[in-house]
Amino acid sequence: MRTLSRIIGACALSIALWVIALPDASAAERTILVFGDSLSAAYRLKPEQGWVALLNERLRTQGYGYNVVNASISGETTAGGLQRLPRALELNKPQILILELGANDALRGLPLAVAKDNLSKMVEAATKAGVRVLLVGMRIPPNYGPKYTADFVQMYTDLSKQYRTPLVPFLLQSVALDSARMQDDGLHPNASGEPAVLDTLWPQLVPLLKKDR
């Protein structure tokens, strides 16, 4: 297992803020805002290989009229996300927020009560703006101790129950233990793993979607 400092350094190497638009973006009346960290920012991949770009393509081919805006930043924490979210909501006016944050808080050993409070405030801000939220959970290596590891998992479950928000329990469920679909850092999917990441998230997203008629 790599040291914590090396993990943090790797996550901080890439900062991305990019927009994936449907071919005719002006015709799309609805927006999905993806708000996450390197797991959503196509870390060390071409943007079109990431699960967010693949989501955009799936929405298009299945007749969902949504713009997908990816406001994910590698290395982002819940504190950084909380600072950025109001502006992102104002600029993009999304109907759906996919909130994928918290892993970097845990990898840095930050207090989970703070991370939970930050996530709570983000969910509340989105809900107040009339935005439906899909909360995306993660897992961390066991070397952080059994209590911290269990509390991290429980944080997402508690938030989902508190706000009655759909939850993806573990974004990397189908790829985390498959070295053929993970990058050599053991933390991020490679290009062959990204479609499976989308497949993990998709069933929880579909009930939030509206199709073009």
User: Is 160 one of the catalytic residues?
Assistant: no
Per DSSP, the residues of 134-169 read EEE-----GGG-HHHHHHHHHHHHHHHHHHT--EES
Our answer to whether residue 185 is catalytic in this structure is yes
- CA–CA distance, 9 with 43 (Å, rounded to integer): 13
Distance CA 41, CA 18 (A): 9
Q: Which amino acid is at 113?
A: A
- DSSP H helical ranges for the chain: 4-12, 51-61, 78-92, 103-107, 112-128, 146-163, 194-205
147 vs 78: CA distance, rounded Å: 20
Q: Please tell me which residue in 151, 158, 178, 185 is annotated as part of the active site.
A: 185
Collect all residues with Cβ–Cβ distance below 8 Å to 164 and sequence separation of at least 6: none
Q: Which of 38, 40, 74, 160 is catalytic?
A: 38
Nearest-angstrom CA–CA distance, 211 and 95:
13
Separation CA 116–CA 188 (nearest Å): 23
158 is annotated as an active-site residue:
no
Helix-then-strand count for the chain, H and E: 7, 6
The C-alpha atoms of residue 162 and residue 168 are separated, in whole angstroms, by: 15
**Active-site residue set:** 38, 185, 188
